[in-house]
Chains A and B, each alone.
Chain A
Amino acid sequence: MKFDHIIIRYGEISTKKRNRKSFVAKMRRHILWSLKDIPNVELTANRERMYIILHDADHKEVIARLQGVFGIQSLSPALKVERDIEKIKEAALYYMNQLSDPVHTFKITTKRADKEFPYVTNEVNHLLGGHLLRNIEGLKVDVKNPDFNLLVEIRREAVYLTGETVPGAGGLPYGSSGKAMLMLSGGIDSPVAGYLSMKRGLEVEAIHFYSPPFTSERSRQKVLDLAAKLAEVTGSFKVHIVPFTDIQVLIQQQVPANYSMTTTRRLMLRLADQIREKNHALAIITGESLGQVASQTMSSMFAINEVTNTPILRPLITMDKLEIIDLAQQLDTFEISNLPYEDCCTVFTPASPKTQPKREKVNYYESFVEFEPLIEKAIQNIETITVVPNQQTIEKEMEGLF
């Protein structure tokens, strides 16, 4: 007994009208990528659904991969059997027994597309239902509100059984919403913000501010490891590493300590906006959550946001820390984020940063400092790294050791 194909149902794309084609094409590309090392699987699509023809591939593995593809509402594995009532009975029992959730009540819905099949719809329902009731202890029929509805489709070439519905990732197909730049610090929040944005169809690249010697090689490595996790979504993930030391040093020298954080954030945002423009993205994503730290109070965001009118997406803005940690654990980024290395956000934090900074004041302090040459220099010296999942980030000469 083996599964023949998997039915893929579109999520919100099905509400799209003229753009649907491009949405489906993006999703198709993502699906093909996620299954690329499984030989022989075949993808067919129509307006309503896609089908993965398994050709002996393990359906559980395929489903697990597909659950990482955005835009899929749900998945159903389907069995294919000969048009022999005994074989169909056997298959029905097999299907019921492999379900992951326990089923107490069921019904059978038969679609008899081939009218030449020797049993009529009701006969099939009764024969299969009786077989299941005899063989599964404690199972009951409930036609109104069953735990499980077994769908049997009798066609000329074969009989198909399905009914199990596995939830997909939801969201919109990757890349269907355009591109945005994620400010990736190495903390717990920003990778989650990046993932949620990708789920909503955004193509995401990251920006990381790197300040040696104030932050170590390890914190940079940590960001690349996080990027490698995010790369699992689509196979690769770009990180722009911005040398930030000179600017941070200048801020420390020129701006009063309690405003240094506000200015630092404003400069990061200015740099991020320039990088966004160069890379043809339309938004900046941050992992900010309202009130979490001094830079994420409403007054701080008001003062910091002043430097750009580019949309800033804050997917986590209303989430509590514990909710974010939950998501980070699901994404497997929590362990990496939690490593205790100094990052660009923690080193220069003053003892008491302003939680209610004023635009006028920060503008006044910044007016004495010439940041432009340093910004230009930083932009010129950006290092762009494309990270792939499970990347062996070790050097060439280390490779043979394993």
Chain B
Amino acid sequence: MIYLDNSATTKPYPEVIESFVKVSTDYFGNPSSLHGIGTQAEKLLSTARKQIADLLKVKSAEVFFTSGGTEGNNLAIKGAALANQNRGKHIITTSIEHPSVMEAFQVLSEQGFAVTYLPVDATGRVSVVDLEKALREDTILVSIMHVNNEVGSIQPIAEIGELLKQYPQILFHVDHVQGIGKVDLSLIDAGIDLCTISGHKLHGLKGTGVLYIRQGVRIAPLFSGGNQEGQFRSGTENVAGIVALAKAMRISLNNCVLYAHKLKEIRTVFYHGLQEIDGVQVNSPVDGAPHIINFSVPGLKSEVLLHELETEGVYVSTTSACSSKKRTASKTVLEMYRNQERAESVIRISTSFHNEIEEAKQAIDAIGRAVAKLEKVMR
């Protein structure tokens, strides 16, 4: 099996699952309970929070646990917009965001917020100049993903942060779900106010995530309840999942340093290998994230290619997993190339530290065979 769908989800590390099982078995207490069993769970929670804060180089009090990327993005965007709407009702994002951002903006626009969607160029990046032009007196929130989930383009977060530092009334949210552990980002230096991270993209478990909320930033909670997580996120904390997340993040960020080179090399193999296959167009920019390669075979339905590759034991994705069931064109590729056919025949390869160069070579061969075979049948 060659698993190349790590941007959909990663395989949890065995050590991470061990931690989850041990905490669920031995430290099952509710961290809000006042007795010793609760205190132990609370200790685990605060230790996990501290470890994650240290890894992100922020304060413990700025780390909030969520159920993952979708919740983190919703909480950050709706929470920030609703809590600050008295200061203005204009919010900005890009046209290539993950659905959990897109749809949140859609809901807000139905509630009377004015939304600006920044376009991207052929490399899948927004321009800082466009953003500056879009800023208004009543702008309260800018939400921009770090690494695009479909093609892996890297947005100029540091430059955008630098620009937004001149506008302290504007909150800056970054969807860092695809970026963390793969592309460096300093939350502090980039002046980020809110940052979403998901556990299962880091070899952690599904149902875990972190929202970084800079100290002093107020947002409205999505859930009403027992006011856990500093009142921002009610609901009994998923202690076992959170401990597992702390461990997964530590291992992943460590691997990021150890295997950064290998990941880049694998990408180069894919990038050149794919370009040599007849009929294949690579959609990812040359300088994109090291773990995502997106390509199209115009005229070929991507789902067919996906299943053909599956018979060879190669697992890839059509567009982003979260929207792949809808069978629509890739929004990002459409935005970049303005070509419907290209956007409808998209395949995404996403790697992790545990893929090998040999696997990349085998996958390239498999793709070459599959494309040649299907083109004969379908045309």
> Which of chain A's residues 322-338 have a Cβ closer than 8 Å to chain B?
332, 335
Cα–Cα distance between A401 and B247 once the two chains are bound (Å):
7
> Which of chain B's residues 19-38 have a Cβ closer than 8 Å to chain A?
19, 22-23, 26-27, 34, 36
Smallest CB–CB gap between B275 and chain A, Å? 40
A216 interface hit (Cβ, 8 Å): yes
Smallest CB–CB gap between B46 and chain A, Å? 9
Per-residue CB contact flags for chain B residues 278-302 toward chain A (1 = under 8 Å, else 0) read: 0000000000000000000000000
Contact A401 B23 (CB under 8 A): yes
Cα–Cα distance between A179 and B48 once the two chains are bound (Å):
36
**With A216-B34, A217-B36, A335-B61: A402-B247 Cβ-Cβ less than 8 Å:** yes
B362 interface hit (Cβ, 8 Å): no
A397 partner residues in chain B, CB cutoff 8 A = 26
Cα–Cα distance between A401 and B18 once the two chains are bound (Å):
8
> Which of chain A's residues 36-64 have a Cβ closer than 8 Å to chain B?
none
Closest residue on chain A to residue B54 by CB atoms: A390
Cα–Cα distance between A60 and B43 once the two chains are bound (Å):
34
Contact A217 B39 (CB under 8 A): yes
B243 interface hit (Cβ, 8 Å): yes
Contact A398 B36 (CB under 8 A): no
B343 partner residues in chain A, CB cutoff 8 A = none
Contact B43 A398 (CB under 8 A): yes
B36 partner residues in chain A, CB cutoff 8 A = 217
A253 interface hit (Cβ, 8 Å): no
B51 interface hit (Cβ, 8 Å): yes
Closest residue on chain A to residue B27 by CB atoms: A398
Name the one of B50, B61, B243 contacting A401, with C-beta atoms under 8 angstroms.
B243
Smallest CB–CB gap between B218 and chain A, Å? 16
A392 interface hit (Cβ, 8 Å): yes
Contact A402 B43 (CB under 8 A): no
A394 interface hit (Cβ, 8 Å): yes
Closest residue on chain B to residue A338 by CB atoms: B61
B60 partner residues in chain A, CB cutoff 8 A = 335
A22 interface hit (Cβ, 8 Å): no
Among A217, A394, A398, A401, which residue has the most Cβ atoms of chain B within 10 A?
A: A401
A218 partner residues in chain B, CB cutoff 8 A = 34, 39, 42
Contact B44 A394 (CB under 8 A): yes
Among A217, A218, A398, which residue has the most Cβ atoms of chain B within 10 A?
A: A398
Interface residues on B, range: 20 to 34
**With A401-B243, A402-B51: A393-B19 Cβ-Cβ less than 8 Å:** no
Smallest CB–CB gap between A28 and chain B, Å? 29
B246 interface hit (Cβ, 8 Å): yes
Smallest CB–CB gap between A331 and chain B, Å? 13
Per-residue CB contact flags for chain B residues 3-26 toward chain A (1 = under 8 Å, else 0) read: 000000000000000010011001
Cα–Cα distance between A217 and B39 once the two chains are bound (Å):
8
B40 partner residues in chain A, CB cutoff 8 A = 398
Cα–Cα distance between A402 and B23 once the two chains are bound (Å):
11
A398 partner residues in chain B, CB cutoff 8 A = 27, 40, 43-44, 47
Cα–Cα distance between A392 and B44 once the two chains are bound (Å):
10
Contact B39 A402 (CB under 8 A): no
Smallest CB–CB gap between A355 and chain B, Å? 32
B250 interface hit (Cβ, 8 Å): yes
Cα–Cα distance between A67 and B250 once the two chains are bound (Å):
29
B61 partner residues in chain A, CB cutoff 8 A = 335
How many of A's residues come within 8 Å of B, CB to CB? 15
Cα–Cα distance between A402 and B48 once the two chains are bound (Å):
7
Name the one of B27, B42, B246 contacting A402, with C-beta atoms under 8 angstroms.
B246
Cα–Cα distance between A394 and B19 once the two chains are bound (Å):
15
Smallest CB–CB gap between B330 and chain A, Å? 38
Per-residue CB contact flags for chain A residues 354-398 toward chain B (1 = under 8 Å, else 0) read: 000000000000000000000000000000000000101110011
Contact A394 B43 (CB under 8 A): yes
Smallest CB–CB gap between B148 and chain A, Å? 31
Contact B243 A402 (CB under 8 A): yes
Smallest CB–CB gap between A102 and chain B, Å? 15
B250 partner residues in chain A, CB cutoff 8 A = 402
Cα–Cα distance between A181 and B259 once the two chains are bound (Å):
50
Closest residue on chain A to residue B52 by CB atoms: A402
B50 partner residues in chain A, CB cutoff 8 A = 390
Smallest CB–CB gap between A190 and chain B, Å? 20
Contact B43 A393 (CB under 8 A): yes
A402 partner residues in chain B, CB cutoff 8 A = 19, 47-48, 51, 243, 246-247, 250
Contact B47 A392 (CB under 8 A): yes
A390 partner residues in chain B, CB cutoff 8 A = 50
A392 partner residues in chain B, CB cutoff 8 A = 47
A393 partner residues in chain B, CB cutoff 8 A = 43
Smallest CB–CB gap between A398 and chain B, Å? 7
Contact B22 A401 (CB under 8 A): yes
Cα–Cα distance between A393 and B40 once the two chains are bound (Å):
11
Smallest CB–CB gap between B197 and chain A, Å? 17
A394 partner residues in chain B, CB cutoff 8 A = 43-44, 47
A400 partner residues in chain B, CB cutoff 8 A = 19
A401 partner residues in chain B, CB cutoff 8 A = 19, 22-23, 44, 243, 247
B34 partner residues in chain A, CB cutoff 8 A = 216, 218
Closest residue on chain A to residue B43 by CB atoms: A394
Cα–Cα distance between A392 and B48 once the two chains are bound (Å):
11
B23 partner residues in chain A, CB cutoff 8 A = 401
> Which of chain A's residues 167-222 have a Cβ closer than 8 Å to chain B?
216-218, 221
Per-residue CB contact flags for chain A residues 214-243 toward chain B (1 = under 8 Å, else 0) read: 001110010000000000000000000000
Cα–Cα distance between A398 and B26 once the two chains are bound (Å):
10
Cα–Cα distance between A400 and B51 once the two chains are bound (Å):
13
Smallest CB–CB gap between B231 and chain A, Å? 13
> Which of chain A's residues 76-131 have a Cβ closer than 8 Å to chain B?
none
B48 partner residues in chain A, CB cutoff 8 A = 402
Cα–Cα distance between A390 and B51 once the two chains are bound (Å):
10
Closest residue on chain B to residue A218 by CB atoms: B39
Cα–Cα distance between A401 and B41 once the two chains are bound (Å):
12
A332 partner residues in chain B, CB cutoff 8 A = 59
B247 partner residues in chain A, CB cutoff 8 A = 401-402
Smallest CB–CB gap between B189 and chain A, Å? 13
> Which of chain A's residues 308-362 have a Cβ closer than 8 Å to chain B?
332, 335
Closest residue on chain A to residue B240 by CB atoms: A401
Per-residue CB contact flags for chain B residues 215-252 toward chain A (1 = under 8 Å, else 0) read: 00000000000000000000000000001001100100
Cα–Cα distance between A398 and B19 once the two chains are bound (Å):
9
Smallest CB–CB gap between B16 and chain A, Å? 10
> Which of chain B's residues 33-86 have a Cβ closer than 8 Å to chain A?
34, 36, 39-40, 42-44, 47-48, 50-51, 59-61
Q: Shortest 5 CB-CB distances between A and B: which pairs? A: A401-B19, A335-B61, A401-B243, A394-B47, A217-B39
New contact pairs (15) apart from A398-B27, A402-B243, CB-CB < 8 Å: A216-B34, A217-B36, A218-B34, A335-B61, A392-B47, A394-B47, A398-B40, A398-B44, A400-B19, A401-B22, A401-B23, A401-B243, A402-B47, A402-B246, A402-B250
Q: Provide a sorted-by-A list of 9 A–B residue pairs whose CB atoms are within 8 angstroms.
A: A221-B43, A335-B60, A390-B50, A392-B47, A393-B43, A398-B43, A401-B247, A402-B48, A402-B51
Question: Contact residues of A with B, CB < 8 Å?
Answer: 216-218, 221, 332, 335, 390, 392-394, 397-398, 400-402
